[in-house]
Structure 1
């Protein structure tokens, strides 16, 4: 199991890194060259840089991720692809994407895009709060525990 982070604008990178370090799970941060940083690499964390194209990080994550991996993204399209591949997909606001909620999320995104295209103004996302941060960390820890249990069950079968 690995954790892939759509890292360009993710406010939870450090939470993912810290939690993964405690649980021994490798992390792959996927981000564009526009966010390149020559800083020190953290043990257990790989940074993969991609072109600055709109979907470059999404395509790279989908190429690398395998069933049972965890993906952290705020992109509904990537979430949909990750679910179809058998990944667990989490939003930084502390909820999991599921087959039950992804269609509504995609429909809402489409409706908002059409409204903007026709000249209407739509609200942007709400600010990321300390409560969101806590919800995400709890969800990530629970998800890791559940995935480890699933791996153990599959190993024993």
Structure 2
């Protein structure tokens, strides 16, 4: 099992790294070159940098992820692909994506994109709370202990 992280704007990378170490699980951070970092990570963490193109991180993750791996992302499109592949998909706010919910989430994303294209402003995601971070940690622990 691996943990793949859509790491360009993931606010829970430190939690993932800490929890994975307890279970001796490998973490694969995937970032675009525009999010390059000199930060050092422990040996159980590897970082891949990909082109800045749209969905390059998503394609890289989906090219490597296997059934039962964990994928951490806030991107509904990547979540849908990973679910289809049999991965466990976790949002950094602490909820698991499910087959039952993903269609509705993708529809909402589409409606908001159409509204933005028509000139309307839509709200972005709110800042992650400590409660959401703790919820994420607990969900990740559940997945790692399976």
Determine if the TM-score, normalized by the shorter chain, exceeds 0.5.
yes
Matched position secondary structure for 1:95: coil
- TM-score (ref. length: structure 1): 0.90
Separation in 2 of the partners of 1:95 and 1:43? 28
- Deviation per residue, 1:119-143 (Å, 9 max, x gap): 1121211211111100100010011
Q: Displacement of 1:41 after TM fit?
A: 3.6
**Aligned pairs for 1:105-120 within 5 A:** 105-120=105-120
**Aligned pairs for 1:5-84 within 5 A:** 5-84=5-84
Separation in 1 of the partners of 2:48 and 2:92? 20
User: What is the match of residue 144 of structure 2?
Assistant: 144
Separation in 2 of the partners of 1:119 and 1:34? 27
Separation in 2 of the partners of 1:114 and 1:122? 10
Q: Displacement of 1:39 after TM fit?
A: 3.5
Gaps of 5+ in 2: none
Q: Displacement of 1:62 after TM fit?
A: 0.1
Matched position secondary structure for 1:124: coil
Separation in 2 of the partners of 1:12 and 1:60? 20
Query: How well do the aligned residues superpose, as a CA RMSD in angstroms?
Result: 0.9
Q: Displacement of 1:108 after TM fit?
A: 0.3
- TM-score (ref. length: structure 2): 0.97
Would you say how many aligned residue pairs link Structure 1 and Structure 2? 146
User: What is the match of residue 155 of structure 1?
Assistant: none
Gaps of 5+ in 1: 147-157
Matched position secondary structure for 1:63: helix
Separation in 2 of the partners of 1:112 and 1:127? 19
